[in-house]
């Protein structure tokens, strides 16, 4: 799903803008348990994420960890 | 709050339709001065002066016809006796409506009518409500000199083929009101006057029985008939009503206003309300006739509980059922955590009910795990319109279409799914508006009597965004954009980004032709037509939203409308046609897990504080689960309890295998519904629901119109739905103490700026209110974004076309797309329990002759449909309505298993399922699918559990 979100934000040369867009989208619409689940998925090392999706998720997971 | 009850009387009829004119003229009718808008007929002017001229062929829902010769008048200085219905009133005119000469002529006319009419008034179904009878009385007819020995029509045979009305030609006076209603009001042109002179008679299609004809059973002809020629069967069986309650239809998002005509607690008939602002006295076969489900024998009216879904049901008292539910939910939360339960609101329920469910979830469950069935239909509308225009709603009133010059219909099938609005749209098209249709199928609007689309952009399913970008490319590359409008009303940086994105050659119609399958020249022609229209309006449906890029497409539509300046006045706009009666309202009421009522994000502290103060509880700041997330979490063992009000997830949601796996894993499923629907078969608690006839509240239709729903009969199970939610909340320990639905609306108004001025009292006064309704718009807002967009400046969002993952392969070479049919509604729980089954008693699969031939499939054969999610079997309709490579079906019958085939693919932004694109293979088979056989077994098991339900041991109140 997050790859699909990233694909829809991935337009033009400004990748940082796309990452911010994906991160904001996830922040606004994802429930906390879904972040926990995706964090576990990333931790397996087998996550098949697009670069934008991965950057956005990493940013959000760090954000959540900092807030805890 | 008192209900609006009136003693029964026929609605006023002023003879001819109202005329709009800024010029007023004054005339004298029988010495009485009356001023009317220029263009008004004499008969209407007289009626406005309180003088009723006798009439038969005239009625104010139809254009004047001038055939019955009963409404003749004398006009000073004019020759002869002109028909007042076809004579335009003039300034200074002096009209006489009654004198000896007129009385003699009228009596003679009536005598001729009655000479060929049965004199069976006492046993006639319309005795007491017959215009012919009234006119005989009005003209003083006392004698018929001609006898019945001559040729007559008295033995003409009845046509009782239609389940809802009877055609008795022996009572016909050939006034043509039925024929004209079919043409002018409904726009189907199914009726005609066959023959000439004395042999003239009303005929359906090629003189066929009504049921076999092109008649769509809207009932406009029945309503228009001034005699007992066309009469509702319910009226024939029950007799005349004795009181009326004005209420709102519970079917589609048009939200027609109806007069429920009652005899005690029983509905005699549903008569479309002439004052209804969404329907103007019209209706469809569902709203007018298909109300029998409310008293169907399948209604469950006693609460039931059970420990396991494989146990028989046990009937219990309300108290017991509520306590059982609350204990279960509390137990689950204690064991699995506060986030392990959630609730689902329904677009079939009222604003007050959905508001209360989401409030209970947030306040009593203590989480934000609330979602609504709009998740699977119009959630992309909310996302797309909010982010571009600033409000998650359509921009216009339905009447706006009467000012449109070019109408664009994208992924919507109004004649099937929104028939009353379709009639209004067709009226405008007959007046000369142009029509562009973007749809993979040849829907009826593409070509129907007196309507033909200028462009049918028959795109491949799943390529909407490619098409809308190509249309925008034409607008920009040919300099057709509304430069001043954009400069004045939109964010310019975002516009420049969008402009350079759209102007990329890869978005040109020529580049996109291989993607969409639509000839570039047609895209260019359509885009030019829309962009250069004085008023261009876009109407769209689930063919836009139910895609992997549903939200992107909604934004693409908004972009195109902004770029051409087609927002903010009558005749234009972006108009989502909502599927169910209260999709708009359910979304408005905070049913989504990330939003509080009024589309305010749950993370916004000031909004949350407002609700916390009113509700006296702390709210969680993070979004909860959406429906698909709930299913995933349930399968993963993290989500264990659900409260579902009025929604049938097991039938309506995609990928049935996944849905039923999730539902089977729950420890407590509470279903509140009228019937043991598919979801209830997985339930542990069944709480009987109340139909729209049994409760008070409001629905909000697709044009943001809040309309009253009135209790016309007592709830069969004893309680309105909101009372049951309240009882559950109280049992969970969160107190609610509403004594009437109006108090819930008062709370909504206190907390929601767009509803600030709404109250039941104001609804009683105004009839309906289109939100926003507040100090700035005291009586509501028909057209949004008039001077500026709700978000301030309009925002162009980039809409790159991303091909869906659901692609055809050698294994699955066809695309399945799904839709609706006129006679059935959504999961069919209501309409399958009516005579509408006579039109559609099973879902069928449409397949193009080329694809059918390749597979050896003939019309009527059983066809297996297999996708990566599952397979099912349906009967084939070999038709060119679908294009090669595309198959189509509906999902109104649970045993069809249409959603066994649809997948978990969904819209990237909202998770709205991609119902419109599923890669499948089709093949000829001779037996049902394995899923269907298991479905039959499971259904039989559950019906047996229902039969074993025990009688309650005690009867107590909630």
Span B604-649, pLDDT tens digits? 999 999 999 999 999 999 999 999 999 999 999 999 999 999 999 9
Q: What is the DSSP letter of B183?
A: I
Q: How confident is the model at residue A45 (pLDDT cuts 50, 70, 90)?
A: confident
Contact B301, B314 (CB under 8 A): no
pLDDT at position B6, please? 55
Q: Each residue of B176-193: pLDDT tens digit? A: 999 999 999 999 999 999
> Among B622, B624, B640, B799, which would you mutate to test the A interface (most chain A Cβ atoms within 10 Å of its Cβ)?
B622
- Please, are residues A6 and A50 in contact by the beta-carbon 8 Å criterion? yes
**Distance between B743 CA and the closest CA of chain A, angstroms:** 31
Contact state of B909 with A1 under an 8 Å Cβ cutoff: no
Q: Give contacts of A50 with chain B, Cβ < 8 Å.
A: none
Q: How far is B356 from chain A (nearest CA, A)?
A: 22
Paired tokens of B198: 């004395």
- The whole-number pLDDT of residue B11 equals 80
pLDDT band for position B2 (cuts 50, 70, 90)? very low
Strands (E), B158-200: 165-167, 191-194
Is residue B958 pLDDT above 70, yes or no? no
Test A4 with B548 for CB contact under 8 angstroms.
yes
In tens, the pLDDT along B271-326 reads 999 999 999 999 999 999 999 999 999 999 999 999 999 999 999 999 999 999 99
Which chain B residue shows the shortest CA-CA distance from A5? B908
Contact with chain A for residue B601, Cβ under 8 A: yes
Phi-psi region of A28 (alpha: psi -120 to 50; beta: other; left: phi over 0): alpha
pLDDT over 60 at B338, yes or no: yes
pLDDT reading at B336 higher than 90: yes
Q: pLDDT-based confidence at B950, cuts 50/70/90?
A: low
Angle between helices B464-477 and B492-502 (to 10 degrees): 100
Residue B667, helix vs strand vs coil: coil
Chain B residues within 8 A of A8 when measuring between CB atoms: 549, 552, 800, 802, 908-909
Average pLDDT over residues B904-927: 96
Q: Which ipTM score applies to this complex? A: 0.96
Model confidence at B5: pLDDT above 50: no
| Per-residue model confidence as pLDDT tens digits over B850-872 | 999 999 999 999 999 999 999 99
- How far apart are the C-alpha atoms of B679 and B691, rounded to whole Å? 18
Q: What share of chain B is helix, strand, coil (3-state, %, to 5)?
A: 35, 20, 45
- Cβ contact (<8 Å) for B629 and A34? yes
Q: Touching check for A30 and chain B: CB below 8 Å? A: yes
Residues of A whose CB is below 8 A from B638: 33
Q: Chain B contact for A12, CB < 8 A?
A: yes
Whether B601 and A28 lie within 8 Å, measured CB to CB = yes
Whether B870 contacts chain A with CB within 8 A: no
- A32 to chain B, any CB pair closer than 8 A? The answer is yes
Kindly tell me if the per-residue pLDDT of B954 is higher than 50: no
- Which residues have C-beta within 8 Å of that of residue B87, sequence separation ≥ 6? B41, B42, B73, B75
Of the candidates B603, B623, B800, which has its C-beta nearest A31's C-beta? B623
- Cα(B132)–Cα(B134) distance, rounded to whole angstroms? 5
Which pLDDT does position B3 carry in this prediction? 44
Residue among B356, B412, B958, B446 at smallest CA distance from B715: B958
Q: What confidence tier does B7 reach under pLDDT thresholds 50, 70, 90?
A: low
Encoding tokens for residue B777? Answer: 């718009």
Is pLDDT of B365 > 70?
A: yes
pLDDT of B435 higher than 50: yes
pLDDT, tens digit, for every residue of A30-43? 999 998 888 888 88
* Residue B946, CA distances (Å) to B51, B186, B303, B672, B855 in order: 60, 42, 12, 15, 42
Per-residue pLDDT at B658 exceeds 50? yes
| Average pLDDT of chain B, as a whole number | 96
Interface contact flag, A12 B548, Cβ < 8 Å: no
Percentage of residues in chain B having pLDDT higher than 70: 98
Place of tokens 């509700």: B615
Please say if the pLDDT value at position B908 is more than 50.
Answer: yes
Contact A12 B497 (CB under 8 A): yes
Strands B685-688 and B304-305: antiparallel
* Chain A interface includes B624 (CB < 8 A): yes
Poorest-pLDDT segment among A9-23, B363-377, B558-572: A9-23
Those residues whose C-beta lies under 8 Å from the C-beta of residue B947, and which sit 6 or more positions away, are none
Across the interface, do B629 and A31 touch by the CB < 8 Å criterion?
A: yes
Interface contact flag, B549 A8, Cβ < 8 Å = yes
Handedness of CA B550, B555, B560, B562 (dihedral sign): positive
Residues of B in contact with A5 (CB under 8 A): 908-909
Determine the pLDDT at residue B372. Answer: 96
Beta bridge partners of B267: B262
What's the rounded mean pLDDT across residues B806-817? 96
């Amino acid at each position: 799903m997050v790859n699909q979100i990233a694909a829809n934000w991935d337009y033009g040369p400004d990748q940082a803008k796309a990452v911010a867009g994906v991160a904001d989208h996830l922040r606004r619409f994802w429930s906390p348990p879904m972040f926990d689940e995706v964090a576990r998925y990333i931790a397996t090392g087998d996550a098949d994420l697009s670069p934008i999706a991965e950057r956005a998720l990493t940013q959000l997971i760090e954000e959540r960890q900092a807030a805890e | 709050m008192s209900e609006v009850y009136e003693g029964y009387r026929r609605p006023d009829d002023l003879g001819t339709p109202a005329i709009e004119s800024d010029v007023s003229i004054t005339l004298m009718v029988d010495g009485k001065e009356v001023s009317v808008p220029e263009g008004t007929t004499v008969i209407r002017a007289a009626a406005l002066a309180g003088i009723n001229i006798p009439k038969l062929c005239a009625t104010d829902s139809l254009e004047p016809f001038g055939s019955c010769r009963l409404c003749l008048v004398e006009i000073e200085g004019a020759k002869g006796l002109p028909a007042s219905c076809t004579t335009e009133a003039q300034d200074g005119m002096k009209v006489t409506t009654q004198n000896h000469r007129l009385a003699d002529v009228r009596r003679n006319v009536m005598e001729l009518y009655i000479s060929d009419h049965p004199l069976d008034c006492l046993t006639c179904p319309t005795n007491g409500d017959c215009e012919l009878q009234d006119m005989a009385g009005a003209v003083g007819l006392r004698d018929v000199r001609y006898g019945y020995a001559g040729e007559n029509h008295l033995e003409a045979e009845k046509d009782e083929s239609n389940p809802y009305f009877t055609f008795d030609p022996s009572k016909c006076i050939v006034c043509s009101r039925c024929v004209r209603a079919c043409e002018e009001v409904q726009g189907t042109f199914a009726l005609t006057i066959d023959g000439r002179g004395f042999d003239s008679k009303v005929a359906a299609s090629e003189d066929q029985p009504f049921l076999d004809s092109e008649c769509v059973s809207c009932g406009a002809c029945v309503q228009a008939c001034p005699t007992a020629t066309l009469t509702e069967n319910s009226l024939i069986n029950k007799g005349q009503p004795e009181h009326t309650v004005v209420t709102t239809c519970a079917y589609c998002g048009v939200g027609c206003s109806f007069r429920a005509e009652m005899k005690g607690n029983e509905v005699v008939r549903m008569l479309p309300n002439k004052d209804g602002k969404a329907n103007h006295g019209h209706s469809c076969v569902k709203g007018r006739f298909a109300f029998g489900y409310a008293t169907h024998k399948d209604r469950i009216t006693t609460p039931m509980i059970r420990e396991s879904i494989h146990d028989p049901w046990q009937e219990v008292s309300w108290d017991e059922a509520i306590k059982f539910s609350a204990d279960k939910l509390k137990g689950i939360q204690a064991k699995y955590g506060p986030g392990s339960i959630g609730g689902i609101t329904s677009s079939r329920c009222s604003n007050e009910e959905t508001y209360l469910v989401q409030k209970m979830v947030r306040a009593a469950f203590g989480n934000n795990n609330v979602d609504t069935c709009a998740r699977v239909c119009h959630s992309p509308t909310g996302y797309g319109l909010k982010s571009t225009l600033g409000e998650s709603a359509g921009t216009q009133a339905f009447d706006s279409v009467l000012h449109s010059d070019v109408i664009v219909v994208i992924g919507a099938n109004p004649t099937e799914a929104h028939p009353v609005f379709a009639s209004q749209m067709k009226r405008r098209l007959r007046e000369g508006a142009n029509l562009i249709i973007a749809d993979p199928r040849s829907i009826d609007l593409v070509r129907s009597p007196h309507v033909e689309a200028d462009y049918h952009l028959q795109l491949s399913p799943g390529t909407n965004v490619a098409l809308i970008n190509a249309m925008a490319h034409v607008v920009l590359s040919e300099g057709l954009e509304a430069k001043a409008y954009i400069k004045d009303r939109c964010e310019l940086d975002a516009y420049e980004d969008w402009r350079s994105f759209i102007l990329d050659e890869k978005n040109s119609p020529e580049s996109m032709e291989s993607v969409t399958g639509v000839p570039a020249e047609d895209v260019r022609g359509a885009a030019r037509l829309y962009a250069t229209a004085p008023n261009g309006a876009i109407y769209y449906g689930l063919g836009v939203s139910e895609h992997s890029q549903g939200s992107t497409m909604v934004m693409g539509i908004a972009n195109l409308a902004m770029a051409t300046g087609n927002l903010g006045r009558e005749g234009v706009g972006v108009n989502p046609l909502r599927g169910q009666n209260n999709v708009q309202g359910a979304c408005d009421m905070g049913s989504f897990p990330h939003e509080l009522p009024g589309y305010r994000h749950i993370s916004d502290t000031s909004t949350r504080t407002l609700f916390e103060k009113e509700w006296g509880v702390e709210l969680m700041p993070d979004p909860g689960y959406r429906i698909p997330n709930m299913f995933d979490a349930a399968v993963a063992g993290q989500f264990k309890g659900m409260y579902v009000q009025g929604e049938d997830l097991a039938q309506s949601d995609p990928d049935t295998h996944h849905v039923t796996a999730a539902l089977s894993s729950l420890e407590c499923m509470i279903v509140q519904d009228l019937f043991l629907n598919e979801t209830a078969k997985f339930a542990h608690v069944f709480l009987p629901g109340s139909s729209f006839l049994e409760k008070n509240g409001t629905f909000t239709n697709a044009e943001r119109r809040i309309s009253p729903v009135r209790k016309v009969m007592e709830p069969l199970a004893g309680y309105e739905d909101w009372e049951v939610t309240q009882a559950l909340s109280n049992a969970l320990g969160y107190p609610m103490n509403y004594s009437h639905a109006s108090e819930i609306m008062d709370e909504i108004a206190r907390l929601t700026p767009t509803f600030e001025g709404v109250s039941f009292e104001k609804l009683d006064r105004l009839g309906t209110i289109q939100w926003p309704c507040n100090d700035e718009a005291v009586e509501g807002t028909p057209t949004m974004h008039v001077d500026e967009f709700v978000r301030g400046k309009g925002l162009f969002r980039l809409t790159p076309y991303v091909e869906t993952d659901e692609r055809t392969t050698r294994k699955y070479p066809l695309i399945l797309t799904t839709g609706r049919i006129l006679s059935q509604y959504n999961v069919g729980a209501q309409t399958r329990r009516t005579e509408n089954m006579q039109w559609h008693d099973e879902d069928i699969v449409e397949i193009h002759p080329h694809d059918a031939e390749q597979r050896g499939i003939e019309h009527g054969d059983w066809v297996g449909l297999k996708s990566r999610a599952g397979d099912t079997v349906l009967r084939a309709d070999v038709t060119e309505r679908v294009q090669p490579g595309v198959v189509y079906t509906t999902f109104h019958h649970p045993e069809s298993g249409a959603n066994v085939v649809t997948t978990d693919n969904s819209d990237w932004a909202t998770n709205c399922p991609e119902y419109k694109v599923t890669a499948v293979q089709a093949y000829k088979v001779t037996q049902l699918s394995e899923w269907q056989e298991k479905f039959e077994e499971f259904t039989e098991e559950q019906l047996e559990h229902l039969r074993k339900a025990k009688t309650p041991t005690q009867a107590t109140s909630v």
